[in-house]
Amino acid sequence: MIRLEWDDQTFSVGHPDLDSQHKKLRDVIIDFATHLNIDYCESQVHARLLGFIELSKEHMMCEEQLMKTHDYPDSEAHHKIHKAHFIKLLSLVSDDEKYEQKDVEHIIDYLAQWWLSHIQNEDMKYKPFLKKKD
């Protein structure tokens, strides 16, 4: 898995709640990867994935509300990106709660890549709008 080290200059969007949520999502991904290598268990994979999805949903709702509050002009486009990601996350959930280890490795890689690229390429676009209103 790629390294997910927090650096304020690279990842901070300038809002303490959103930064905290981004860190929590990162921590969950790291924890997921760590436990995959230590004690692989399909039921834990399922629970962790569902937990990550719920945390992501809460974060996206909070982020989108702040975008509206701060008059971010691309909030609708950002919402569509979130919606596509949420659909992708749901597609990763196994109906029978069975996960092969190699598939879980791909899931973790997807989550890590998405976390990195979404913050750096999408979330940073609204950073100036959050600063204007503060």
Number of domains comprising the chain: 1
Give 64-94 as a 3 state SS string. HHHHHHCCCCCHHHHHHHHHHHHHHHHHHCC
Kindly report the CATH number assigned to the domain that includes residue 125. 1.20.120.50
Q: Give a yes or no: residue 116 inside a domain.
A: yes
29 close to 92: Cβ distance less than 8 angstroms? no
Residue range(s) defining the domain that contains residue 56: 15-22+47-133
- pLDDT value at residue 134: 53
pLDDT for 28-50, tens place per residue?
999 988 887 777 777 788 888 99
Q: From its phi and psi, is residue 97 left (phi > 0), alpha (psi between -120 and 50) or beta?
A: left
pLDDT for 58-100, tens place per residue?
999 999 999 999 999 999 999 999 999 999 999 999 888 788 8
Global confidence as pTM: 0.90
Q: Give a yes or no: residue 27 inside a domain.
A: no
